[in-house]
Structure 1
Amino acid sequence: MRALLVVNPAATTTSARTRDVLAHALASDLDLTVAETRYRGHARDLARQAAEDGRTELVVALGGDGTVNEVVNGLLTHGPDPDSHPRLAVVPGGSTNVFARALGLPNDVVEATGALLDALRDGSERTVGLGHAAGTRGSEDEGVPGRWFTFCAGFGFDAGVVGRVEQQRERGKRSTHALYVRQVVRQFLGDQNRREGTITLERPAADGGAPEVTDGLVMSIICNTAPWSYLGNRPLYPLPDASFDTALDVFALSRLSPAAVTRYATQLLTSTPERGPHGKHALSLHDLTAFTLHSQAPLPFQMDGDHLGLRTSVTFTGVRRALRVIV
């Protein structure tokens, strides 16, 4: 089997030794090419070339969720077609590795490598759904290119946190869970939009009539699987029913007062696969194939933990059976 190993040498837990061990293990079973990323978007370019060459059957991503996201977007440059695209395999090398862990892969690089080799020998794979987001037609974001995401997107508060973390990493800070917690507090104290409820969610009506509209939202999280993220080894489940086998789930809040934040943060920290945050200010929607989020003011936007700037309107699509993954 012809395969490409895409390595992000800047990922949190990736080293030259990790790369060499993984490459040696894979080369015993595969016709392997190894490529290291050199700039933002390079993993996408490498995966696109692999998908277009017609010979590569497998692309392995060694890195964090951002590397995986770029590889997925490269593989799906011309749209989802799981029967013709190379299959994807993931070896976690970042700080959180939500996508890999949601697939049931070990979070340790060595254990994950062993699991990958076993899966390849057994021919074990599954087809997963993905989310897609694009600028909304008729909005000032209409020309923004569409992009795929594997496990989550955020519009508003959580995307602001991601942006703050990226700023700290650019200043040399290490990506840790403590860093995220500090930025959550700073985002809450500094976010004026949380008091105004600028977000509107619009989705097609089931009967084909006028769209269903929910306004006055202050934050929104879109999930393609559960858990949404991890705090250390603790999984967080704002949307326990989210799954790679369905379309997209949405969790939103209409209030972020100190009392509401305390209540919903506590519920999130104690959430389980059976029960997530709930209450009169919480909105949970399951298995949506299409919807749009609008905002009266530009808000931060993130996909798979990658901050993508400010947006006023984003249209989401949930695509079932979009990509084959080795597990």
Structure 2
Amino acid sequence: MGRRVALAVHPGSGHGTAARIAGTVAERLRAEVDHLELISAATPQALRDSVTACRSAGLDALVVVGGDGAAHQAVQCCAGTEVALGLVPSGTGNDFARALGVPGRPGEAVTALLSALRGGSDRTVDLGRVDGDDPGSSRWFGTVLCTGFDAAVNARANRLPWPSGPRRYDAALLRELLSLRPRPVVVDTDAGSVRVSATLVAVGNTPFYGGGVPICPSARPDDGVFDVTVVGRVSRTRLARILPRLRTGQHVRHPAVHTLRATRVRIEGAAGTEGTAEWPVFADGDPLGALPVNATCVPAALRVLACPQLP
């Protein structure tokens, strides 16, 4: 049986960029594979149902045209299976694709995908798994899980109609500074437990969130561990001084910033405190509820295309 590939397009990604390039991507893939299945990605459940049906018929790869939200949903379909994931970044952030070394230009990304398909080359990368209380409620993430100030920024950025791309994140960040309120949390890991009055906690499978912000600059998706960044209690003024360092990764040198590496992380409000349970939790830019949260790094949980060498 020849190479079977499914193509899922999220037309709203990148303010319509995904929809504009979908035909070209499909044409180029169709010329190279034995069977191309077009999948409707109108809802996360529709995507999962379609991929499940394709997988039962024999599926080698799922190619997704979209941004981090589209990649996040595709990861839920491919994690723990033999179906390789290919990304054509066309969103506003594209942080997962960036961390995997996928070319930022859609045309170049497709060329890299075709090269991987021709050579039958793929590789495995780690994923984070968020475990809920109910069986079957686990969620996967490829980039960063965050809570606190950065999760609040993420939530606000999702609500902003303008500006686009990384500037939207920057605008949301400045607005959230006005309501900054550090809160006591317990960060419990297999590398030790820390109780701290935190401004934010970020658990990185890869370095980036917010359109290229290396919040966990040393994180790699092939080392079997998370990199955890904890920003302790800081004033608005001190945080404003840290923020310019985020784009360069130099924030980890600030005395208020603590880092550690772990395979298992639980974040919860410290006993006897109020308000922390209201802290939102985001992963891959998608909301996952509020604290407490449990995350586990699962080595080699995902096969990916067009990543001969991670950056």
**Offset at residue 255 of structure 1 (A):** 1.6
Q: Give the letter for the 1:241 counterpart.
A: S
RMSD: 2.1
Per the TM alignment, residue 242 of structure 1 is displaced from its structure 2 partner at its CA by 0.6
Q: 1:306 aligns with which of 272, 286, 295?
A: 286
Partner of 2:246: 268
Equivalent AA in structure 1 for residue 188 of structure 2 = E
Asked if 1:36 corresponds to 2:40, the answer is: yes
Q: Which runs of 5+ in 2 are unaligned?
A: 270-275, 307-311
CA distance in 2, matches of 1:199, 1:34: 45
Residue 6 (structure 1) aligns with: 8
Shift of 1:54: 4.9
Please give the alpha-carbon distance, in whole angstroms, between the structure 1 residues aligned to 2:218 and 2:288.
26
User: Separation in 1 of the partners of 2:93 and 2:190?
Assistant: 34
Q: Deviations over 1:48-81 (max 9, x none)?
A: 4334x151111111111111110110223xxx25
CA distance in 2, matches of 1:324, 1:143: 24
Counterpart of 1:204, as a letter, is D
Is 2:185 aligned against 1:204? no
Distance 1:156 1:190 in 2: 11
Give the Å deviation of 1:306: 1.3
Q: TM-score, normalised by structure 1?
A: 0.83
For 1:203 and 1:168, how far apart are their aligned partners in 2? 34
SS of 2:206's equivalent in the other structure is coil
1:292 equivalent in structure 2: 266
Query: Matches of 1:220 and 1:44 in 2, distance apart?
Result: 30
Percent identical residues: 31
Amino acid at match of 2:169: Y
Is the Cα–Cα contact under 8 Å of residues 18 and 65 in structure 2 kept in the other structure?
no
> Structure 1: where are the runs of 5+ without partners?
206-210
Match of 1:220 among 165, 188, 201: 201
Q: Which moved more, 1:19-28 or 1:38-47?
A: 38-47
2:18 touches 2:91 (CA, 8 Å); kept in 1? no
Q: State whether structure 2 residue 168 is matched by structure 1 residue 168.
A: no
| Structure 1 residue 187 displacement after superposition | 1.2
SS at match of 1:244: coil
* Match of residue 132 from structure 1: 129
| TM-score, length basis structure 2 | 0.87
Residue 107 of structure 1 pairs with residue 104 of structure 2 = yes
State how far apart, in whole Å, the 2-side matches of 1:143 and 1:313 are: 17
Q: Distance in 2 between matches of 1:225 and 1:238?
A: 9
Distance 2:184 2:257 in 1: 15
